[in-house]
């Protein structure tokens, strides 16, 4: 009887030890499983945050780049048309100036015709026209300089197109100076006007290359 009682007691103890160990193992398994789930959840959360951040950055970057492309296109278009207008005004101003200078010579020579009312009326109108052309030329030249500087600031000086575009700006200004200093503007007009048109066409071509490259980056989300 005592042996049976001892055996039953040992069996109960073994069962209790087994159940305790089993509960501890289950508890440890549940804790490890919860820890893994928590780690997985945290990793998923961080991944989602990173994906959302990258998506936002791409959208913002692409949107900003698209705005930059649109703005630069508008500025470049206005520059090209304004630069041509500036050369046109420079030519007409120089022609008008030579006309007025010729009338002034007649006044200084004291010719009989220069004292007539008709001459004085013509002289006055031509001087007013010269002043008007000068004002218009000054306004357009100021706008061209503003647009030129704006294009420079919108471009990256490290890009190869930058130095080429700046050199073309210089060439256009050189043509203007040549027209201003020409003894006979009609002689140099055709050549310098052609030089300006060629320079502007080269600027447009370079700009189109920049727009194409940047547009590819927009589509790629870079």
| Angle between helices 160-181 and 2-109 in degrees, nearest 10 | 10
Q: Is the pLDDT of residue 203 over 80?
A: yes
Q: Is the pLDDT of residue 214 over 60?
A: yes
What does the block give as tokens for 47?
């991944």
Over residues 71-122, the pLDDT tens digits come to: 999 999 999 999 999 988 888 888 888 888 888 887 777 775 767 888 888 8
Q: Residue 140 in contact with residue 89, Cβ under 8 Å?
A: yes
Of the chain, the end-to-end C-alpha distance in Å amounts to 86
What does the block give as tokens for 99?
């006309």
- Distance CA(149)–CA(143), nearest Å, equals 10
- Distance CA(162)–CA(206), nearest Å, equals 9
Average pLDDT, the chain: 81
Averaging pLDDT over each range in 92-101, 144-153, 179-188, which range is the top one? Answer: 144-153
Maximum Cα–Cα distance across the chain: 161
Res 185: pLDDT: 67
Lowest mean pLDDT among 109-113, 122-126, 162-166: 109-113
Q: Residue 72 in contact with residue 151, Cβ under 8 Å?
A: yes
What single DSSP character describes residue 184?
Answer: S
pTM, to two decimals: 0.67
Q: Is the pLDDT of residue 222 over 60?
A: no
Which among 126, 131, 89 is positioned nearest to 104, based on CA atoms?
A: 126
Residue 140: count other Cβ atoms within 10 Å of its Cβ: 19
Over residues 22-31, the pLDDT tens digits come to: 777 777 777 7
> CA distances (Å), 23 to each of 26, 32, 63, in order?
5, 14, 58
Q: Residue 173 in contact with residue 153, Cβ under 8 Å?
A: no
- Distance CA(52)–CA(157), nearest Å, equals 33
Judged on CB neighbours under 10 Å (0-12, 13-18, 19+), 119 is middle
């Amino acid at each position: 009887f005592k042996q049976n009682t001892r055996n039953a007691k040992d069996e109960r103890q073994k069962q209790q030890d087994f159940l305790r160990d089993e509960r501890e193992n289950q508890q440890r398994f549940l804790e490890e499983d919860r820890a893994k789930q928590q780690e997985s959840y945290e990793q998923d959360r961080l991944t989602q945050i990173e994906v959302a951040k990258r998506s936002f950055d791409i959208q913002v970057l692409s949107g900003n780049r698209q705005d930059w492309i649109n703005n630069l296109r508008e500025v470049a278009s206005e520059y090209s048309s304004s630069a041509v207008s500036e050369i046109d005004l420079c030519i007409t101003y120089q022609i008008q100036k030579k006309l007025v200078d010729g009338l002034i010579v007649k006044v200084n020579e004291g010719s009989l015709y220069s004292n007539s009312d008709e001459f004085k009326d013509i002289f006055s109108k031509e001087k007013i026209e010269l002043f008007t052309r000068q004002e218009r030329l000054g306004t357009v030249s100021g706008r061209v300089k503003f647009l030129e500087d704006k294009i420079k600031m919108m471009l990256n000086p490290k890009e190869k197109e930058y130095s080429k575009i700046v050199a073309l700006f210089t060439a256009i200004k050189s043509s203007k100076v040549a027209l201003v200093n020409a003894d006979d503007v009609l002689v140099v007009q055709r050549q310098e006007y052609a030089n300006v048109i060629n320079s502007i066409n080269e600027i447009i071509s370079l700009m189109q290359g920049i727009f194409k490259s940047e547009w590819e980056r927009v589509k790629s989300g870079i």
